[in-house]
Amino acid sequence: MGDFIYKSAIELAEFVRNRKATSTEIVKDHLEQIKRHNSTLNAVVILVEDEALKTAARCDAETAQGKFRGPLHGVPMTVKEQYWVKGTKSTLNFSRLKDWTATEDAVIVDRLRKAGAVILGKTNVSRNLADYQVSGDIYRECKNPYNLAFSPGGSSGGASAALASGMIPIEVGCDFGGSIRIPSNYCGLWGMKPTEDTVPRHGMVPIPEGNKGFALHMAQAGPMARNPEDLELVWKTILGPHKSDRNTPRIEWRKADCKALGDYKVAWVDGWPGYETGIQTKLVIRNFIDQLTQNNCITENTGPGDNLHERSLSLYMRLFTQLVSQDVPRFIRPFMKMEIKNGFLKGMEKFHWEFNKGFKDSFIHYSETMGIRAGIVNEWEQYFEKFDFLVCPMSIGPAYKRCKTGTPIHYDEKEHTYIKYAWPYVACFNASGHPGMNLPLGIGEDGLPVGVQVIGPYWSEPELIQFAKLISKFTSGFVKPESY
């Protein structure tokens, strides 16, 4: 392992700026780490080595002249495979898109480049971005660095595996149903889904040829890192309006005024009605709350009323199917419904009505969904009028063993329906659009990372990151897996 592996992005940028190292040295070190471990993990699926070295050399030439592109000048990173990177494929690990090549950079990729980042390549994803494991039609299955038999989470599983194994210091994922938070949780990372519509979506997914319009809700780009300071740096780089996306407004962000944990009032739950969690998850959450209490934080064990969590899941199921079926020909939709019901969503019969209604091609149904969503967002915001944050579970337990999608998952000597292991704990906040972050809390009893999910009100990311920084001072945080 080289001198720069497992250094933070901020440290690496300082090395370059202070001329203690060159970008070329740092990039080569990370390329070697990828070559050393990627054949086992299958985290990086596209490597642009020559281009990365040329970019690093240009950064070094600029450094010699006292010129710096931005806070990430000379720092290597990768991006999730779905994002457009000019001249590279974005396939979603799906045969239907196997030849789709980006003609330009996504907005967030362009912003990262302008901040000085050196793009090394792209990371592995679940087929069509729809799983908490990482396998598909094109790329080999991705594995968890802490135990190769387990999932790294999905759909940003390549990103989480690459970060945890030291291949890169920072990444950008996308969260449509927990796809940043779950991989971060399963690989012991800091990962944040920002408030919806705060990061431009241009270049987020390949657009089918001839497509004239494409509604996109619930999905949000966000940062992944091994510490909250790097997370903040990437978030500040990618957020904000752009001419390509008029839905991204200028926002008056909540200020990070709280200087100590005692300044916060935090609600918490260790499960949801009808969705209990494992013994270890309950213990992790309660120990975390005890730590907050010992640090003078006000905590209260209470969730929202009126079955809001369950209604949020119902909304997600309805809107999810409306979105994924919108560009699919009518004669293919029955096959698509069958594939989804027998795969990733197998076992969610209670939302059968919402699932079917989502496949109906009707503007009335869509507008009705938007009306329901507005009401649910408002109810969550009313809940957050009493609390700064909500601490809650990320899934029933830590990462699960890789298996056929849709098959039962065994944990705590119990059999769990595949989709119920993680989806009910994260999708509710995609439905509502609220920001959420995984806080890593070290390694659990089975050698796998454990952590908690923290949700905030709309536009509370500065406070959420400040909370994470305070937490990182008294928790284990990221713990490097052995052999990397």
Residues acting as catalytic residues? 80, 155, 179
Q: Give the C-alpha separation, 30 to 50, whole Å.
A: 14
- The β-bridge partners of 224 are 171, 191
Amino acid occupying residue 326 = Q
Q: Compute the distance between CA of residue 154 and CA of residue 178 in angstroms, rounded to an integer.
A: 8
Nearest alpha-carbon partner for 167 in 341, 40, 10:
40
Say if residues 167 and 133 touch (Cβ distance below 8 Å). Answer: no
Q: Are 291 and 477 in contact (CB under 8 A)?
A: no
Rounded Cα distance between 113 and 100, Å, is 22
DSSP string across 407-438: S-EEETTEEE-GGGGTHHHHHHHHHHT--EEE
Residue in 129, 198, 196 with CA at minimum distance from that of residue 157: 129
Query: Residue 283, CB half-sphere, CA atoms under 13 Å: how many?
Result: 8
- Cis omega before residue 395 (within 30°)? no
* 8 Å CB contact between 253 and 459: yes
Length of the chain equals 484
What kind and span of H or E run contains 25? helix 23-41
Q: What is the dihedral of CA 297, 480, 22, 105, to 10 degrees?
A: -80
The DSSP symbol for 105 reads -
Report the interhelical angle of 228-238 vs 9-17 (nearest 10°): 80
The alpha helices in 295-391, defined as continuous H runs, are 308-324, 333-341, 352-358, 363-383
